[in-house]
Structure 1
Amino acid sequence: MFSTTGQFRAFLFGVAAAAAVTFVAIEAPWREATPRQVTPRGELAPQEETTIALFEATRDSVVSITTEKRVLDPYSRRAVEVPRGTGSGFIWDEDGHVVTNNHVIERASGAHVRLADGRVIQAELVGTAPEHDLAVLHIDAGLNAPPPLPIGESNSLSVGQSVVAIGNPFGLDWTLTTGIVSALDREIPTRDGATIEGLIQTDAAINPGNSGGPLIDSAGRLIGVNTAIFSPSGSSAGIGFAVPVDTVNRVVPQLIETGKYRPPVLGIRHSDRINRLAAMQGLEGVLVLGVEPGSPAAAAGLRAARQDASGRLVFGDIIIGIGDRAVASSTDLRDALDAYAPGDSVTIRVLRDGNEVELSAIREHGRRIGAVSEDIRLARGTAVKRDDPEPVTVV
């Protein structure tokens, strides 16, 4: 029979021996392991150097936007601001204006802008243009304001040229993705059923949070504002869309000046309902219901519809084209005219007494007027009643 002391000593000896064996088994490979030799990188490829330089030159002009929503606290019964969403934007000018998407700030009660240097600044809403999914904010960044992003042009873009997108996808700030211009002149529907036309399609990865961020060419110039993706999953599938910078450069100055975008007009009156009724009778185009005195349309000689003694509509000019674009509806007319700036010369193709005629007009800023002032009857007797007024737009 072993004594207790002997058993305890034997136990300690066994533990020590096991520890020594374990130590040797673990320690020996660690002492023998050596890190692999690093292979020198060498020079970066020219394309890599260009991309790096482009990012470093433009990142300070890109911002992160966080929006808030005012809700009622169920306990205190007081209105409080809670985070609502995130998006991207970029510095437009030296006065502190920031451009983003309208859908980023839509229905928000407030917004904060975070700069690349970490500063967070409360933003003020300046104006929105939902029809182009654009919005302008203003921040006071003081003396250390970031520089505005250089502005390019989109009318000279080519499919296949390189682009980069910078933004904050999923809240991952200042993320750079690269790609090409995949296609031009795309169109997508908006939430209110309208259509945004002339979009740039790109395969640069765009995800939720990229909205409002810049699409930039290889020269570091803004060529578009990232606005949407096509994806069944909700994340990038290589099909993204950006509002072209030519549109941005036309809309944003008006938002800064007046808070609203008013497209240039010809000075004619037309009715969506009457155009639809005419289309049902096989007459496609926009019927000129009135010509504003002193307007570009009046100077160009456009003729308005009138009513004969029996109250039936006698057609005047029917607009069937603007420039090289066909016009079959009021939407076509609006989209075609929206591509022009005030002061541009516009070629208008009209049907007059069954013959096609070309006229020229110079556009001015837009406005809206009231409802149709008469009962206007089409040739087959369909009427638009005065007690159901149809808004008439001056375009």
Structure 2
Amino acid sequence: MHQNLANATFQVLAGVSRGSGFSFLRDDLVVTNCHVVMPLLDLVNKKTLGLATLITESGQRLQAQIKCVNLDDDYAVMQLMESLPSGRVVLQPATDFSPTRGLRLIFAGYPHGYEELLTSEAIISAPLKTGKFAIDGMVNGGNSGGPIIDAESGLVIGLVTARRYASGEKAEQLQEEAAQLRAYLEEASKNMSVAIMGVDFGKMADMFGRSLQVITELMNLNANPGIGIGYPISPVTEAAKKQ
């Protein structure tokens, strides 16, 4: 079951964004999170800015065109520009699924944006609003858009859409402010070469900005209490059937 899931999963590259996705319903359709492909979207003019790159576990690279996105429900449906390679698996949806506490599941993806595909077992720890459900498993950045299947049937029940950790919004805000501070200090250091007793304060300011940004990036990447959020597959299924 794990290898079957792996054979359906891709790493999704969209500009600077890295996430996961999977073959779904038909051999030419791939599903992921909307936020994964956001760098390729021009929301103002309602058009795409390019093709997403999909990479299999064996290193095969394919191109896919974004056909449908839903910002509120955070999913995107893409269509392959070439034939699906042999040996790949197309996942099918579970019907009449409702989140049940304790249900065993398996999810797959590329955590942290690394090249290694990981499959993991977990359970549904709680049903949430609008059909979403909490996953008791190690969901990390990069898992976004990956498939979640029922461990018994192998049918898709949802896709990984987020990880939950305390004060996540504050951590993102801190990371953004650190990036702004680094940019400010970098610009300021160009015009500042004050040295006192051999200490170059311009260089020190630049090093401080870089260090703070690295620290906030590490905090964001490694903040994981083991809770992820799954999005139900039914709305995605309806959108995919229209393509």
Moved >4 Å (runs of 4+): none
CA 237–159 in structure 1, closer or farther in 2 if over 3 Å, else same? same
Q: Does 1:158 align with 2:100?
A: yes
What is the deviation of 1:224?
Answer: 0.6
Counterpart selection for 2:124 from 175, 181, 194: 181
Q: Which residue of 2 aligns with 1:225?
A: 159
Match of 2:226 among 238, 262, 265: 238
Task: Report percent identity of matched pairs.
Answer: 28
1:135 aligned to 2:76?
yes
- Give the superposition deviation at 1:141: 4.0
Instruction: Give the deviation of 1:143 after TM superposition.
Output: 6.1
- Once the two structures are TM-superposed, the CA of residue 89 in structure 1 deviates from its matched residue by 0.3
Alignment match of 2:24 (pick from 92, 117, 123) = 92
Whole-angstrom CA distance in 1 between matches of 2:61 and 2:68: 21
Counterpart of 2:123 in structure 1: which amino acid?
I
**Which residue is equivalent to 1:64?**
11
Equivalent of residue 89 in structure 2, options 125, 147, 152: 147
- Tell me the alpha carbon deviations over residues 286-318 of structure 1, each in whole angstroms, 9 at most, x when there is no partner: xxxxxxxxxxxxxxxxxxxxxxxxxxxxxxxxx
Write the letter of the residue equivalent to 1:178: E
- Aligned to 1:106, which of 14, 32, 38? 38
Partner of 1:104, secondary structure, is coil
Q: Give the alignment partner of residue 236 of structure 2, picking from 248, 264, 289.
A: 248
- TM-score, scaled relative to structure 1: 0.42
Change (3 A) 1:143 1:157: closer
* Residue in 2 that maps onto 1:371: none
Amino acid in structure 1 at the alignment position of 2:89: P
Classify the secondary structure of the residue corresponding to 2:36. helix
Q: CA RMSD in A?
A: 1.9
Q: State the distance in 1 between where 2:150 and 2:236 align.
A: 15
TM-score if structure 2 supplies the norm length?
A: 0.67
3-state SS in 1 of match to 2:112: helix
Aligned length: 177
- What is the CA–CA distance in structure 1 between the aligned matches of 2:36 and 2:84, rounded to whole Å? 27
Note closer, same or farther for the CA distance 1:143–1:212 as it changes in structure 2 (3 Å cut): closer
Letter aligned with residue 238 of structure 1: G
Q: Quick one: distance in 2 between partners of 1:163 and 1:247?
A: 19
**Shift of residue 63 of structure 1?**
0.5
Which runs of 5 or more structure 1 residues have no equivalent in the other structure? 1-53, 69-83, 188-196, 257-395
The answer as to 2:142 corresponding to 1:201 is: no
Separation (CA, whole Å) in 2 of partners of 1:85 and 1:143 = 23
Matching residue of 1:216: 149
Amino acid paired to 2:145: G
SS at 1:176 equivalent: strand
* Residue pairs, 1:1-395, within 5 angstroms: 54-68=1-15, 84-108=16-40, 109-110=49-50, 111-142=52-83, 144-145=85-86, 146-153=88-95, 155-172=97-114, 173-184=116-127, 186-187=128-129, 197-218=130-151, 219-232=153-166, 234=220, 235-254=223-242, 256=243
Secondary structure of 1:170's aligned partner: helix
Gaps in structure 2 of 5+ consecutive residues: 41-48, 167-218
Higher RCO (CA < 8 A, seq sep 6+)? 2
Per-residue deviation at 1:117?
Answer: 3.0
Deviation readout 1:226-263 (Å, 9 max, x if unpaired): 00111135432222111112222223323x2xxxxxxx
Distance 1:236 1:153 in 2: 31
d(CA) in 2 for partners of 1:66, 1:119: 13
Deviation (angstroms), 1:156: 4.1
CA radius of gyration, larger in: 1
